[in-house]
Structure 1
Amino acid sequence: MDRWGITIPYFGQGLDRELVGELPSLGYTDAWSAEVSGNDGFTPLVLAAGWAPELRLGTAIVPVSTRGPGLLAMTAATLADLAPERFVLGIGASSPVIVERWNAGEFSKPYARTRDTLRFLRAALAGEKVTEKYETFEIKGFKLDQAPRVAPKIVLAALRPRMLRLAAAEADGAITNWLSPEDVRKVRAEIDEGTELIARLFVIVSEDADRVRALAKRMLAAYLTVPVYAAFHDWLGRGDVLRPMHEAWAANDRQAAVKAIPDEVVDQLIVHGDAATCRARIAEYVANGLNTPVLAPIPTGETPIAQIVRDLAPERA
């Protein structure tokens, strides 16, 4: 297995310098951040760049509509110089809640805005002076004072064919989320074998299936009712099985929406069981075409998160 990533900071725990520094010796190759309403996507990676110089570092993802294009280029350039040839910039459309409700931005033409931002960043991070009228914004005379010595790779959050094809054609990879090992085949069919496919996999190390399902259903209801994820799972073929959840959510009955999620959907989308079972399940994703699994361990209180990170390490597989 070529790559084995972990999400930092870990759920329920701040950045642990000692544990981040230990990741390479455990067999982890990558550390990827997220950006929703906790830590920002860049600061944890700045710290990890010094704590674990062997790790590849990536954002999965930062939205294209919560920062101006120039600021996004400046921030990416800073990290690219801190971790030359080790930083991967993951960008994506995000969602109306994050962009509009939480950041007072405008969630408009998500595909075009992502494509335009990708094209701008390619030019800006190469050190070019950019004056360009894109479909979704216009740039007049932007040039980085100090372009990175090595421009970072850029990967796109992509859930359905159009964005997946853009990632394959113009970016360096695609990032996906909330899918089963079997779903990987359908996603991979939209992109060529040379395109890196990255996915964050939510992992619950517990043999208490009832406890896992109760926890996971709350997470799934919150995510799969977001329009982009609803459309993704329609495309994957789960439209009918998830319809009762969507109907209850639309009626503002959150409790009923959670209960409407079938156990088999949890078992498809959440990696769970003891550590050995979880590692074997992750290997199924890789066998079906996933290049880079990025584990996101969810604690249940049974085991400290640091121990979970160690137990899931690939060297123990």
Structure 2
Amino acid sequence: MLGYWKAGPPAGALEAVQEAERLGFDSVWTAEAYGSDAFTPLAWWGAATSTIRLATGIAQLSARTPASTAMTAMTLDHLSGGRVILGLGVSGPQVVEGWYGQPFPKPLARTREYVAILRSIMARQAPVTAPGPQLPLPRTGEGTTGLGKPLMSTLHPLREHIPIHLAAEGPKNTALAAEIADGWLPFLFSPASDADARALLAEGFARRDPTLPPADAFEVSVPVPIVVDDSVEAAADRLRPMIALYVGGMGAKGANFHFDAVARLGFEAECAAIQEHYLAGRKAEAIAAVPMRLIDEIALVGPVGRIRDGLARWEESVVTRMLVQGDAEALRAIASLRG
């Protein structure tokens, strides 16, 4: 899991991707927020690899129309020989309305419409139409010429069914992922919430479209920060800034999905303290307020033996794929644990 870039391209990323492929890792995942995009790095690194799957984790719905996302995914799927996994997410109102200039209300309904259009385009069975109301195709009415017509992609898909995974942290969109997608991408997940996760997925599977792959083929891919260090505290300190950013600063007070996800793990008071410091500009205090107990819930840190002991909780959970967030050393450590 390489995530999105900061000021520039991450140093050593290509070497890490190639090492991951050599070690037998399944896939490489990128992301986007309001800087680098999710697809271009996959095309660049995909050209230098041959087997590792290329996944967006996540591409933001409001960054592109469904047609644009389908075109990009289908093009990359051809160029890579069928290696694409399309991870999608709604992001949050600050980014959607502040960066993309798109409306945020009714994100679940928008996701449902978006995925249905993607499926229709990639199946290429007929010219694409969609009733809306958020994403109608063709668009008609006020402000249009009235000349729009249903179209079918000129590009024939390499695969009619490119896997679509949905990022979800809340209960309703977790169930939605099980209903309409091929996989679920939780974030800030803990094996301690396994029973709740299974119940929400079962709720979605009960409504699942029978034309989709069966529920037993559904994947759950979780980013797990991993830091290998002889000092547990030193390893934890490398993760505290990231956790403080997401819990305290990624979203407005009362509208931060990451805050809510961590609070549901039993850290509501800690989240409130982190957010209060962060929004007041006291980032050092916010970082210091991230407890070791929280880090152990959502990450694997410390010596290799400690990581090995902690790995069992994840393997017994609903998780089917762990997305390793770490450097080449972390990749090699995990590969050694997996034999």
TM-score, normalised to structure 1, is 0.85
Give the aligned residue type for 1:187.
Answer: A
Deviations 1:157-204 (A, max 9, x none): 011221111111111110011122223443233114622111111111
User: 1:208: which partner in 2?
Assistant: 231
- 2 CA distance for matches of 1:97 and 1:142? 33
User: In structure 2, what is the equivalent of residue 94 of structure 1?
Assistant: 91
Distance 1:149 1:278 in 2: 40
Give deviations 1:76-131, integer Å, cap 9, x for gaps: 11122223443110101012333333334433322222221111111111114222
Per-residue CA deviation, residues 28-65 of structure 1 (Å, 9 max, x unaligned), is 11111122245421122223434332222211110000
Picking from 144, 165, 171, the partner of 1:161 is: 171
- With over 3 angstroms needed to count, the CA separation of the structure-2 counterparts of 1:107 and 1:308, relative to structure 1, is same
Cα 1:9–1:65 change in 2 (3 A) is closer
Q: 1:121 to 1:23 in 2, by over 3 A?
A: same
Checking the alignment, whether the CA contact within 8 Å between 2:228 and 2:329 is kept in structure 1 is no
| Structure 1 residue aligned with 2:136 | 138
Pairs aligned (count): 304
Q: Find the residue that maps to 2:137 and give its secondary structure.
A: strand
Tell me, in whole angstroms, the C-alpha distance in 1 between the residues paired with 2:12 and 2:135.
36
Report Cα offsets for 1:195-252 as digits up to 9, x if no partner: 2111111111123233333332221111013311122233333323422223334444
Match for residue 304 of structure 2?
275
- Assess if the C-alpha contact under 8 Å between 1:160 and 1:187 holds in 2: no
Check whether the contact 1:158–1:174 (CA below 8 A) recurs between aligned residues. Answer: yes
| Cα contact 2:59–2:89 (8 A) shared by 1 | yes
- The reply to whether residue 69 of structure 1 matches residue 78 of structure 2 is no
Kept in 2: contact 1:96–1:107 (CA 8 A):
yes
Does structure 2 conserve the Cα–Cα contact (< 8 Å) formed by 1:27 and 1:314? no
Which one scores higher on RCO, CA 8 angstroms, separation ≥ 6?
1
Evaluate the alpha carbon distance shift between residue 8 and residue 213 of structure 1 in structure 2; reply closer, same or farther with a 3 A threshold: closer
What amino acid does structure 2 have at the position aligned with 1:134? G
- Which residue of 2 is the match for residue 3 of structure 1? none
Q: Contact 1:9–1:44 (CA<8 Å) still a contact in 2? A: no
**1:301 maps to which residue?**
none
- Pick the structure with more strand per residue: 1
Amino acid across the alignment from 1:124: I
Output the CA distance in 2 between the equivalents of 1:14 and 1:107.
Answer: 36
2:277 matched residue in structure 1: 248
Contact 1:7 1:33 in 2 (8 A): yes
Provide the C-alpha distance between the structure 2 equivalents of 1:73 and 1:177, rounded to a whole number of angstroms.
24
Moved more, 86-95 or 204-213: 204-213
Please tell me the residue identity of whatever aligns with 2:54.
Answer: L
Q: Secondary structure at the match of 1:199?
A: strand
> Computing the radius of gyration over CA atoms, which structure comes out larger, 1 or 2?
2
Using the size of structure 2 for normalisation, the TM-score is 0.80
Partner of 1:111: 108
In 2, the alpha carbon distance for the partners of 1:74 and 1:189 equals 35
Q: Which residue of 2 aligns with 1:307?
A: 329
Q: Check 1:315–1:246 CA distance in 2 against 1; reply closer, same or farther (3 A cut).
A: closer
Distance 1:14 1:115 in 2: 37
Residue matched to 2:2 = 7
1:198 maps to what in 2?
A: 221
Contact 2:177 2:183 in 1 (8 A): yes
Counterpart Cα distance in 2 of 1:308 and 1:237: 28
Aligned pairs (5 A) from 1:211-290: 211-225=234-248, 226=251, 227-290=256-319
Flag structure 1 segments of 5+ consecutive residues without an equivalent. Answer: 1-5, 298-304
- Percent of pairs identical after alignment? 28
